[in-house]
Amino acid sequence: MAHRKGHPKARRACRRSGFTLVELLVVITIIGILIGLLLPAVNSAREAGRRTQCQDNLHNMALAILHHESAKKYLPTAGWGYAWTGDPDRGSGIKQPGGWFYCILPYIDQANLAQVGAGLADNNGTQTSPKAKALVNLVQTPLAIFHCPTRRQVKLYPDAGSGQYNCGAVTAMIHVDYAGNGGDLKYVDSTQTNQPSSYSQGDTTSFWKSIPYNTGVCLQHCQLALAKITDGPSNTYLLCEKYLAPDYYENGEDYGDNENAYTGLNWDNCRGCIDSNNAFQAPLQDTPGHEDYWNFGSAHPGSFGAAFCDGSVHGISYYIDPTTHQRLCNRADGAPIDASKLQ
């Protein structure tokens, strides 16, 4: 029987379905809670991916250094000092003014980049020479392998350094987020003040006689054989992530991040576990407001990446046993390493 118009059942059938304001607010609240629960997991997954990429960078650079050592019978030189950029006509031994990151270019599929400026006149190391002008292209070609993806993008960064003798002046250049092992003794003063001012001076043996080597494996004007790492390749850092305060990520004004990636030995590309007063310092996670251009560290939470002289890569806790950390920085102290204390 059909319902008459106005019958209660008919009125109920005609009502519009939908959410009340209260129900809508409940749904929105639930969605917000779910997003709040999911975001940390998403961010954690992203960071895990970035950390993996960073460790891959370390691994590939370590292999490049070891392939160099296998071919040349010595590790690539760490160069002459911050005032010099890599030179394509000077090999990778003691005559090379540039550092590690320049010397490994042919071993990271960048042989063409390593030849930028080859054969051009250098005028004994002057910024206006044909070679120096060509090297501007070298220091302005970003490479992803030199950057930690958690810290910053692959791009050029402002030049806040003092400039190099053998490279033309630039306003922006490539930086590097990694550093060679400079040991557990103070070393940087010698690299900052005792470096040649010309190619001819740098090629003079007597100039280098008074400059001591550090206790690590990233050595100024040196051809170090792997056999000289007497503590063993698996007990010695090769290169690690370097510390950098977030305040300086973009401006290049930190003393340990103000030169291009291809300079000789300096704070930009060589770190250790001793500060400017020869006091031990532990590795650090990047911290706003805290400048420390001597130290290892990274932007990753919990640990920084370290490549050892056997090519292996490990995450090393910021709370690593201090003695163990110091021993890992020294290539030949004869002290044993307890692997259980790396974390």
CA distance 305 to 195: 30
Q: What is the DSSP string of 90-116?
A: STTSTT--S-HHHHTGGGGT-HHHHTT
Which sequence spans correspond to the domains of the chain?
74-341
The answer, yes or no, to whether residue 30 has pLDDT greater than 90, is: no
Give me Rg for the CA atoms of the chain.
Answer: 27
Beta strands in the chain (DSSP E): 157-158, 172-173, 178-181, 237-241, 270-271, 284-285, 297-298, 303-308, 313-317
Q: What is the pTM of this model?
A: 0.87
Task: Look at residue 34 and tell me whether its pLDDT is greater than 90.
Answer: no
Decide if 269 contacts 263 (C-beta within 8 A).
yes
Decide which of 51 and 17 is more confident. Answer: 51
> Which pLDDT score is estimated for 17?
60
Backbone φ, ψ for residue 179 (5° rounding):
-150, 145
pLDDT band with cut points at 50, 70 and 90 for residue 193: low
- Mean pLDDT, to the nearest integer, of 111-136? 96
| pLDDT of 338 | 79
- Asked if 206 contacts 194 with a C-beta cutoff of 8 angstroms, the reply is no
| pLDDT (average), residues 32-43 | 76
Tell me the C-alpha distance between 168 and 157, whole Å: 16
- Per-residue pLDDT averaged across 43-55, rounded? 90
